[in-house]
Chain A
Amino acid sequence: GAGVSQSPRYKVAKRGQDVALRCDPISGHVSLFWYQQALGQGPEFLTYFQNEAQLDKSGLPSDRFFAERPEGSVSTLKIQRTQQEDSAVYLCASSQGAARGYTFGSGTRLTVV
């Protein structure tokens, strides 16, 4: 596609519920990134994929967070047993290489109630 597509656009989850957030990167982009953006803050790095390999997951806040990209294109960020502190916008970005040329999606706003 022309840009990075994320779905759903908004998600409201009850505390304790599991959620799955989807990212469709730009076709052909090798690198895929997930960032978390709390209200009033800059995005914070969560994890990085190069094709299907998850090369860095150092930013994932807890073992409740899990990301995958099994075929090297679409990626899913899963959050188990959601907590209120998980409420944030989750941004996906893709690029052909490394930090240069990141293209961000519009994000999924997760609200945990």
Chain B
Amino acid sequence: GESVGLHLPTLSVQEGDNSIINCAYSNSASDYFIWYKQESGKGPQFIIDIRSNMDKRQGQRVTVLLNKTVKHLSLQIAATQPGDSAVYFCAENLGDSSYKLIFGSGTRLLVRP
């Protein structure tokens, strides 16, 4: 299939290990953040979100951490599986424009079997 991103930073992990993907966001006024997973040839798929009044949110096998002081987001994936291989994007939502998402540049996750 077609490649989502040929020149993205890549994180390679062993199946079963934990993965941490980082993202720096741009606007201190952003109040809502989303992590998306994008597989080759598909659109972005929602993984987990977090509001700016929270530092941490957990889902199934995923955790998002938000550090507003340094404008940093991270996505932690526990027990990474081959199906987790994809490009991951963070997106921020500006408080004064609640419908528009600003996407980061993405990280490719490769899971070694």
* A binding-site residues for B, Cβ under 8 Å: 4, 31, 33, 39-45, 48, 55-56, 91, 93, 98-107, 109
Contact = CB atoms under 8 A, between A and B. Distances in A.
Contacts of B46: 101-103
Given A40-B6, A40-B8, A41-B106, A98 B99 contact: yes
B45 interface: yes
Given A93-B43, A104-B44, A106-B43, A41 B5 contact: yes
7 contacts: A40-B106, A43-B89, A44-B103, A48-B99, A56-B100, A99-B34, A104-B43
> What range describes how many residues of B lie at the interface?
20 to 34
A6 to B, nearest CB: 8
Contact of A42 (B2, B93, B98, B104): B104
B106 A42 contact: yes
Contacts, number: 64
Nearest to A91: B43
B99 A99 contact: yes
Contacts of B42: 106-107
A40 B5 contact: yes
A39 B6 contact: yes
A105 to B, nearest CB: 5
Contacts of A99: 32, 34, 93, 98-101
Interface in B80-113: 89, 91, 93, 97-106
Best-surrounded residue of B2, B44, B46, B99 (most CB of chain A within 10 A): B99
B100 A45 contact: yes
Contacts of B7: 40
Contacts of A106: 41-43
